[in-house]
A = this chain, B = another copy of it.
Amino acid sequence: MVGLDPLIHPPTRLQLVTTLSAVSEAEFTTLRTALQVSDSVLSKHVSALVDAGYLRSRKSVHAGRRTTWVGLTDVGRQALRDHVAAVRQLIDMVD
């Protein structure tokens, strides 16, 4: 009835997935800077969402630099849409 997704709702998670929704992938480091959280925190949120099937991560090497790329899966994108719809249903009552 309410439909808020507890995997997505918490502030850091919401920032993470909404940030990712705008792009196909983002670098771990970029995300950490954008969200202003520690390595460990981002790593844990990412792996929780990977476990849930919402995110996918891959490692790549460019010019001797190893980076981890993170992106939404189709499942995650849909879950986000659903969550956003639920949030809108609540907040659109306001004003």
Contact = CB atoms under 8 A, between A and B. Distances in A.
A90 B18 contact: yes
B84 A94 contact: yes
Nearest to A4: B11
- Number of this chain's copies in the complex: 2
Interface string A3-21: 0101001010011001101
A22 B93 contact: yes
Size band of the interface chain A makes with B: 20 to 34
Contact of A91 (B87, B93, B95): B87
A91 B18 contact: yes
A42 interface: no
Contacts of A18: 90-91, 93-94
A2 interface: yes
